[in-house]
Amino acid sequence: MKGKIWSFLIIFTFFLNNFSFAQNNKPNIVGTAGILIEAKTGKVLYEKNAHLCLEPASTTKIMTAIIALEKGNLNDKVATSERAFKSDGSRIYLEVGETLTLEQMLYALMLNSANDAAVAIAEHISGSVEDFVKLMNEKAKEIGAKNTNFVNPSGLPDKNHYTTAYDLAMIARYALNNPTFSKIVKTKTLNIPWQGKEYDRTLINHNKLLWRYEGADGVKTGYTLSAGQTIVASATRNGMQLIAVVLKSQGKNIYTDAISLLDYGFNNFERKDIIKKGEEIGIINVKYGNPVTLIASQDFSFIVEKNNNEPITFKKDIPKIIKAPLKKGAVVGKLNFYQGEKLIGSIDLVSKDEVKRKISTYLWFKVLILLLIVYIPFRIRVGINRYKRYKRKIKYLSQFSRDNDFHY
């Protein structure tokens, strides 16, 4: 009996160890390149060839949507040109001269991956596709996508049209901060007008994860023969949003790759919100002014492995002497965060209130006080002496007058 119990315990322990290994083992994706990041902090949780330049296909349209949202108005009327009408690939079959709002065009762009809508949007915003592409590349560099170059707003193949998994993750992270973008990319279906038809167009989001994966909330799929299957996928669970990017995968593997990355992130990591923006950190003395309360300039969160119980601590890094005057919100130091001995990030510490310099601390004021201390007694003495002289003069004149009266 004891032998059976021991055998069971050994098998059970082996199962637990292997289950733990499976939970923590990094995913093995089919795609040539991939990355997984946490959206709020940008922390990289997994990467494979993340900086390898590859074709993005229709995930390009994430940048197209960003530019349109930042440069246009959702109620703008967008007309379809001959060039837009003749677009290759995925379309919603816009007719020459057909007009939709920019908002409707954006839904067509991101749900149905409409290349004709991409061209129409580009021409509406910049006057030409070429000028629009310049905005795309400028924005990419601004976001930090340094190994990206766009030559069109749709993602159709071109040897000079490329990006990396890392760059796409940064672009998607930036885009998801826009509430309208987030609303569009998690929409499953939508009807928009169809000129000349008695019925509307029905847009159906190409991103199947919206139906298949718990918490999925975006972003964009893509495919061309040369690019293979591509995806930028996002999902949110327990307040933590992850972004997975896979480039040059094959067939249905694009979804299993994305799910594998997202599962790995949700199973093994959690976000800890350490400091909230505006949280009071302490009070410091200010030379020439009153003490001031320091507050956090921004939120600070950190992604940790679920089995890592090492505490996160922080230390203030503030100059020994802080002088008034200080504006409200002035940076006066940093708050550094550590996990063990490792520095994991920092934020600025700012003054909660304005600190005016006390008038008594100015040199001119001290000089003035010194002058007053010397000058006022001096003027008093001068006044007293003048009064005494005046009294003596009056006394003398009075005596002189009496003497003259006597002789008469």
Report the pLDDT averaged over residues 302-323: 90
What is the DSSP annotation of 231-265? EEEEEEETTEEEEEEEEEE-TTHHHHHHHHHHHHH
Contacts of 353 (CB under 8 A, 6+ apart): 292, 293, 328
Residue 348 pLDDT > 90, yes or no? Answer: yes
51 in Cβ contact with 157 (< 8 Å): no
CB 96 within 8 A of CB 268: no
Reduced to 3 states (helix: H, G, I; strand: E, B; else coil), residue 202 is strand
Q: What is the pLDDT of residues 202-213, one digit of tens each?
A: 999 999 999 999
Tens-place pLDDT, residues 144-173: 999 999 999 999 999 999 999 999 999 999
Which residue, 241, 249, 192, is CA-closest to 216?
A: 241
pLDDT for position 24:
57
58 closest CA partner among 112, 107, 106: 112
Residue 297 designated active-site: no
The active-site residue out of 48, 61, 139, 248 is 61
Domains in the chain, ordered, with CATH? Answer: 28-273 (3.40.710.10), 276-351 (2.60.410.10)
pLDDT at 405: 60
Residue 387 confidence (pLDDT): 83
Largest CA distance in the chain: 155
Q: Which percentage of the chain shows pLDDT scores above 70? A: 92
Q: Length of the chain, please?
A: 408
Residues in a beta bridge with 149:
162
Q: What is the DSSP string of 137-190?
A: HHHHHHHT-TT-B-SSSS----TT-BB-HHHHHHHHHHHTTSHHHHHHHT--EE
Work out the pLDDT band at 142, boundaries 50, 70, 90: very high
pLDDT at 5 over 80: no
Q: Stretch 315-342: mean pLDDT, rounded?
A: 93
In order, the DSSP letters of 3-56 are HHHHHHHHHHHHHHHHHHHHHHSPP--SSSEEEEEETTT--EEEEESTT--B--
CA dist., res. 125 & res. 144, Å (int): 23
What is the Cα–Cα distance from 149 to 221, expressed in whole angstroms? 19
User: What is the band of 244 on the pLDDT scale with cuts at 50, 70, 90?
Assistant: very high
Percent with pLDDT over 90 in the chain: 76
- Determine which one of 40, 48, 58, 154 is catalytic: 58
Angstrom distance (rounded) from CA 266 to CA 321:
45
pLDDT at 1 over 70: no
pLDDT for 6 beyond 50: no
- Catalytic: 113? yes
Q: What pLDDT does 394 receive?
A: 82
Of 81, 87, 90, 113, the active-site residue reads: 113
Is this model's pTM higher than 0.85 or not? Answer: no
Mean pLDDT of the chain: 91
For 49-101, write each residue's pLDDT tens digit: 999 999 999 999 999 999 999 999 999 999 999 999 999 999 999 999 999 99
